[in-house]
């Protein structure tokens, strides 16, 4: 999808496919358009909404496409991006109720009126993806493969956070990939199976980012873990990728833990340490209070206490004896000294 609201989302603008479509939408290719041809088509297909403006853009690109501004999935396939852009706008600019036949009417009239210019056209219009369902699946498959490396690099970076639109893009395009894979297993002739076969060896499961806004939390503030199936979720390279990443379900995409979840994890770690310590203390209490080991320990502690008291008493008595001896010596000296003075002064 080339919703222009993506152009205001920095995460979405990091994707090559979105940058491609933004370039075509904003480059003013209508300045190079064929106004005479587009007026004729508008008059013949007057039930289309905005058909003149789209025709001017398309003819302007065919006249003067700046391919150097386009990132392509494969070499020299910039015109593939143009075709996806054109068909997307055709289906979104038609009045309600129009279908693939209305789109084909515009395409065939455009080719008819431009037959004299085709040799100079910068691109060729692809008529193989004219059916809406086939076109949507093909475009999404192409964009997913083109954006794969950018997404992988972003979501695998430490502490990566992504917008809601970015994560929704991963989910939607992963689901489309899995759907195409199943369909091509049973019917390889489908128009998008050739592209699937060409790109499948390059794709591995992707993991979504932690979302930037609060939509991943419940009203109680709890973290909701969103899990969904990614590319190659069954066998193939996906299994090898899962083993390298240490996941049992290699196709599952998980949102990393938020700060709340980290706090919960830390609390669990503390409790896992505290409970064993309390268990050991409780076991000692039971042994001391209700088993013979407690009596033995108590007897030992009492003996140790009495012994210590006896030692302390002996030390105190010894200290007192020393003190008395010291005092007696000093008193004897003082008595002798006083008596001597008395004899000298009768």
- 316 versus 162: which is more confidently predicted? 162
Residue 335 has pLDDT above 50, yes or no: no
Rounded CA-CA distance 97/10 in Å is 34
61 pLDDT band, cuts 50/70/90, is very high
Rounded CA-CA distance 61/55 in Å is 10
Q: Are 104 and 68 in contact (CB under 8 A)?
A: no
pLDDT value for 8: 87
Which tokens is 307 given?
């012994």
Query: Across the strands, what pairs with 217?
Result: 223
205 pLDDT band, cuts 50/70/90, is low
For the segment 47-74, the average pLDDT, to the nearest whole number, is 92
Residue 345 has pLDDT above 60, yes or no: no
What dihedral do alpha carbons 207, 210, 215, 220 form, nearest 10°?
A: 110
Query: Across the strands, what pairs with 210?
Result: 161
Residue 261 has pLDDT above 50, yes or no: no
pLDDT value for 301: 57
Q: Are 106 and 51 in contact (CB under 8 A)?
A: yes
Please give the mean pLDDT across all residues of the chain: 72
Q: What percent of the chain has pLDDT over 70?
A: 56
pLDDT value for 319: 52
Integer CA distances (angstroms), 222 to 209, 259, 263, in order? 17, 11, 12
Rounded CA-CA distance 64/130 in Å is 24
CB atoms within 10 A of CB 300: 10
Residue 181 has pLDDT above 90, yes or no: yes
Q: Are 179 and 137 in contact (CB under 8 A)?
A: yes
* 3-state secondary structure string across the chain: CCCHHHHHCHHHHCCHHHHHHHHHHHCCHHHHCCHHHHHHHHHHCCCCCCHHHHHHHHHHHHHHCCHHHCCCCCCCCHHHHHHHHHHHHHHHHCCCCCCHHHHHHHHHHHHHHCCCCHHHCCCCCCCCCCCHHHHHHHHHHHHHHHHHHHHHHHHCCCCCEECHHHHHHHHHHHHHHHHHHHHHHHCCCCCCHHHHHHHHHHCCCCCCCEECCCCCECCCCCECCCEEECCCCCCHHHHHHHHHHCCCCCCEEECCCCHHHHHHHHHHHHHHHHHHHHHHHHHHHHHHHHCHHHHHHHHHHHHHHHHHHHHHHHHHHHHHHHHHHHHHHHHHHHHHHHHHHHHHCC
Residue 93 has pLDDT above 80, yes or no: no
pLDDT value for 130: 82
Least confident of 124-128, 292-296, 324-328: 324-328
Integer CA distances (angstroms), 3 to 54, 65, 276, in order? 16, 21, 57
- 338 versus 148: which is more confidently predicted? 148
- 205 versus 257: which is more confidently predicted? 205
Q: Report the chain's C-alpha Rg in angstroms.
A: 43
Residue 49 has pLDDT above 60, yes or no: yes
38 pLDDT band, cuts 50/70/90, is very high
Query: Across the strands, what pairs with 228?
Result: 253
pTM: 0.62
Listed ranges 39-48, 234-243, 326-335; the one with the highest mean pLDDT: 39-48
Q: Which residues contact 226 (CB under 8 A, 6 or more apart)?
A: 167, 208, 216, 253, 254, 255
pLDDT value for 256: 38
303 pLDDT band, cuts 50/70/90, is low
pLDDT value for 160: 83
Q: Which residues contact 238 (CB under 8 A, 6 or more apart)?
A: 204, 205, 230, 231, 232, 250, 251
Which tokens is 106 given?
């515009």
Nearest to 86 by CA among 41, 140, 36, 130: 130
pLDDT value for 325: 45
Q: So where are the chain's domains?
A: 4-206, 263-344
Residue 289 has pLDDT above 70, yes or no: no
């Amino acid at each position: 999808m080339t919703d222009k609201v993506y152009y205001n989302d920095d995460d979405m603008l990091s994707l090559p496919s979105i940058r491609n479509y933004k370039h075509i939408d904003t480059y003013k290719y209508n300045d190079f358009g064929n106004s005479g041809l587009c007026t004729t088509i508008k008059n013949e297909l007057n039930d289309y909404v905005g058909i003149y403006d789209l025709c001017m853009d398309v003819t302007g690109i065919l006249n003067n496409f700046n391919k150097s501004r386009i990132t392509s999935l494969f070499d020299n396939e910039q015109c593939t991006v143009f075709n996806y852009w054109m068909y997307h706008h055709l289906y979104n600019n038609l009045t309600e109720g129009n279908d693939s036949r209305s789109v084909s009417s515009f395409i065939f009239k455009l080719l008819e009126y431009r037959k004299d210019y085709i040799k100079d056209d910068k691109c060729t219009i692809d008529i193989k993806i004219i059916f809406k369902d086939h076109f949507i699946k093909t475009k999404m498959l192409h964009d997913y493969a083109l954006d794969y490396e950018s997404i992988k690099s972003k979501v695998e970076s430490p502490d990566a956070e992504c917008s809601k639109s970015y994560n929704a893009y991963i989910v939607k395009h992963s689901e489309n990939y899995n759907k195409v894979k199943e369909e091509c297993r049973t019917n390889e002739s489908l128009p998008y199976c050739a592209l699937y076969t060409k790109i499948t060896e390059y794709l591995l499961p992707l993991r979504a980012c932690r979302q930037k806004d609060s939509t991943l939390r419940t009203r109680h503030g709890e973290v909701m873990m969103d899990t969904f199936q990614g590319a190659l979720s069954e066998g193939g390279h996906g299994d090898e990728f899962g083993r390298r990443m240490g996941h049992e379900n290699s196709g599952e995409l998980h949102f990393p833990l938020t700060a709340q979840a980290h706090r919960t994890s830390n609390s669990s770690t503390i409790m896992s340490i505290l409970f064993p310590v309390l268990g050991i203390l409780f076991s000692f209490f039971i042994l001391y209070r209700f088993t013979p080991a407690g009596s033995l320990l108590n007897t030992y502690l009492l003996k140790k206490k009495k012994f210590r008291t006896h030692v302390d008493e002996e030390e105190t008595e010894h200290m007192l004896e020393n003190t008395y001896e010291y005092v007696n010596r000093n008193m004897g000296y003082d008595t002798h000294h006083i008596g001597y003075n008395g004899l000298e002064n009768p």
